[in-house]
Chains A and B, each alone.
Chain A
Amino acid sequence: MGYSPFRRGAPPERETKMNETILTAENLKFRYDVSDQPVYALDGVSTQVKRGEFVAVLGANGCGKSTLAKHFNAILLPESGKVYVEGMDTADDDKIYDIRQTVGMVFQNPDNQIVATVVEEDVAFALENLGVPPEEMRRRVDDSMKMAGIYEYRERAPHNLSGGQKQRVAIAGVVAMRPDCLILDEATAMLDPRGREQVMQTIHHLNKNMGITVVSITHYMEEAAQADRVLVMSKGHIVMEGTPKEVFSQTEKVRSLHLDVPQAAELRDELVKAGIPMPEGIIDTGECAQALYELLQ
């Protein structure tokens, strides 16, 4: 089987070398149906994600963002081009379980990724698969449940939890593998505002305090505005890239890609149009209020 016994069970050594690249895509091309489909879902995507970063990926439905995410843990393999995870080529069959342990995935529908009928059993699922000894497993399961804030529900049945709680069960189940990177494929899309907030808090906690790299695919601009870096995709290409400020202050361009801009940025733009001088790069409500305060003082 293709996993190193060293990796199995033993916590991966996590070096906090910043600026070290953890995910790399090189001229990645992919089609779902090679024979029938002339259109590429990913059409030459190259990008890198650094260790410890929080990257948000935005784009209209069908832009290829989920397809890109699925390449980062070898669920999909490139038609041409390369994907590397911590230097491992995802096309390398022998490395597949190392890659999936390094890059954990959380999907959109919380119901469809919970396997067990008890919360803690579900959190343990990946570790059971990896053959972690029971004592060590107990410890890691408890740790990740506490981290995701679901420890108190450990003996409950998942179907009795709220959407936000279920999604945190899914996150805990992935975090138990001690991954270096977490990919959220629209993990908050089906949640109510409260559930979304809970999940985002958990993710930010994992990113800031545990040093886990996060790639979050989302439709919610508020979530993207909190990221370190934003990638905007359209028709299989990365079309915008930068800090949330750099991206969202280009309101016209963002809108032309069928995406929303935060209302603060929209208001700033409309004010400028109405002849009121406003500084650039306003994307959240606090900044906007501050700028208006200075204007009206």
Chain B
Amino acid sequence: MLRDITIGQHFPGNSLVHRFDPRLKLVLTIVYIVLLFAASNPLGLTLSILFLAAMYTVAKIPLKMIGKSLKPILPIVIFTAVLNLFFVSGEGEPLVHIWFLTIYAEGVRYAVLMAVRVMALIAGTSLLTYTTSPIVLTDAIEQLLKPLGKLHFPVHELAMMMSIALRFIPTLIEETDKIMNAQKARGAQLDTGKMTERVKALVPVLIPLFISAFRRADELAMAMECRCYRGGDGRTRLKVLRCTKRDYIDLAVCIACFAVILSSRLVFPNF
């Protein structure tokens, strides 16, 4: 049921990857995504995937978790692969030619590379959420975006909204479950019937859910005021993010790996 849904699932642990400074981890994840597109030859991709596999091993995240994170985006992967397959035209003879569809060798190559790249991208970002608790990640985002605050960008407010959302997701999921049960007990048909009927049947679930969410927001705002909340100015944090020597060493190792992957593309462009 709804309770099984996992959003931003986190696997607590104490590995090197877990302890790595979240800000650096976030930046490196972004760099890794760029790298996936920059080093787009088969050799570069293979090395990128090897690097990721090594990270997963270090973090002791079971490999089947990669499968779990890939499952929901599988349709997108297949869709992009199919698009590439049919619409990339290459030189030489097409491999297959049916009616208006033609498949070239390049098309196959691009389709496979694209599919692998998208999957590596998802697996890479999943590693970030698997090894970093949402609240720490929010902190990292807040700190990384801090310079934007000078431009009157509401950095603190955004971070606060994110962390409150994270806090209330499980509560609201539980509540949805309860409301669904209560309406089913009055004979509502939520999991049977035609699509249009099902959408209509959601009204008795969504209305109480929204009302309750607003009530919660109201009460939470009051509770926050009672605890002297007044925005981000002058706030301190219980846990201060600090980069240690080890973080810098880890960073250096990662950058070195990335450099090797990138240079592989330049040195062996044909592989």
Partners in one complex: yes
* B236 lies within 8 A of chain A by Cβ: yes
Interface flag for B5 (CB, 8 Å): no
Given A107-B223, A112-B223, A120-B238: A97 in contact with B216 (beta carbons within 8 A): no
Q: Which of A135-186 contact B (CB under 8 A)?
A: 137-138, 141, 157-159, 170, 173-174, 177
Q: Is the CB of B219 within 8 A of A109?
A: yes
Query: Would A115 and B224 count as touching, CB distance under 8 A?
Result: yes
Q: Which of B215, B236, B238 counts the most chain A CB atoms within 10 A?
A: B238
Give residues 77-124 of A contacting B (CB, 8 Å).
97, 100-101, 104-105, 107, 109, 111-118, 120-121, 124
Cβ–Cβ < 8 Å partners of B167 in chain A: 114-117, 158-159
Known: A100-B226, A116-B163. A107 touches B219 (CB 8 A): yes
Whether the Cβ atoms of A126 and B133 lie closer than 8 Å is no
Cβ–Cβ contact B228 & A130, under 8 A: yes
Q: How many residues of B contact A (CB 8 A)?
A: 31
Check A113–B219 contact: CB distance below 8 A. Answer: yes
Instruction: Choose among B133, B219, B226, B240 the residue with the greatest number of A CB atoms under 10 Å from its CB.
Output: B226
Query: Is B222 interfacial (CB 8 A cutoff)?
Result: yes
| B134 located at the interface, meaning its Cβ lies under 8 Å from any Cβ of chain A in the complex | yes
B145 on the A face (CB < 8 A): no
Report the Cα distance A73→B222, complex, angstroms.
11
CB-CB contacts below 8 Å: B129-182 with A: 133-135, 163-164, 166-167, 170-171, 174
Q: Which residues of B contact A109 (CB under 8 A)?
A: 216, 219
Interface flags, A4-48, vs B, CB<8A=1, else 0: 000000000000000000000000000000000000000000000
- Is B230 part of the binding interface, using a Cβ–Cβ cutoff of 8 Å? yes
Cα(A3)–Cα(B219), bound, Å: 24
Are A131 and B236 in contact, with the CB atoms below 8 A?
yes
B229 interface hit (Cβ, 8 Å): yes
Chain A residue at minimal CB-CB distance from B219: A112
Q: Count residues of chain A with CB under 8 A from any CB of chain B.
A: 42
B227: CB under 8 A from chain A? yes
The answer to whether B216 touches A107, judged by C-beta atoms less than 8 angstroms apart, is no
B229 in contact with A137 (CB, 8 Å)? no
Chain A residue at minimal CB-CB distance from B221 = A112
Q: A75-B222, A121-B135 are in contact. Are A126 and B236 (CB under 8 A)?
A: no
The number of residue pairs between A and B whose CB atoms lie closer than 8 Å in the complex comes to: 101
Within 8 Å CB of B223, what residues of A? Answer: 105, 107, 112-113, 115, 170
CA distance A209 to B234 in the complex (A): 33
A112/B238 contact (C-beta < 8 A), A118-B133, A159-B170 known: no
CB pair B227–A173 under 8 Å, yes or no, is yes
Instruction: Determine if B234 and A1 form an interchain contact, defined as CB atoms under 8 angstroms apart.
Output: yes
Whether B38 sits at the interface, judged by CB under 8 Å, is no
Question: CA of A100 to CA of B236 in the docked complex: distance in angstroms?
Answer: 18
**Are B164 and A115 interface neighbours, CB within 8 A?**
yes
A132 contacts chain B at the CB level, 8 A cutoff: yes
B186 within 8 Å of A (CB atoms): no
* In the complex, B194 has a CB within 8 A of chain A: no
Contact B228 A75 (CB under 8 A): no
**19 additional A-B residue pairs with CB within 8 Å, beyond A115-B227, A116-B135, A133-B236:** A3-B228, A75-B225, A97-B230, A107-B223, A109-B219, A113-B219, A113-B220, A120-B238, A121-B135, A125-B227, A127-B236, A128-B235, A128-B238, A129-B228, A131-B235, A132-B236, A134-B238, A134-B239, A177-B227
Q: List 29 A-B contacts (CB under 8 A).
A: A3-B228, A75-B225, A97-B230, A100-B225, A100-B228, A104-B227, A105-B223, A107-B219, A113-B219, A115-B224, A116-B135, A116-B163, A117-B133, A117-B134, A117-B166, A121-B135, A121-B239, A125-B229, A126-B228, A127-B236, A127-B238, A129-B235, A132-B236, A134-B236, A134-B239, A137-B236, A170-B223, A173-B227, A177-B228
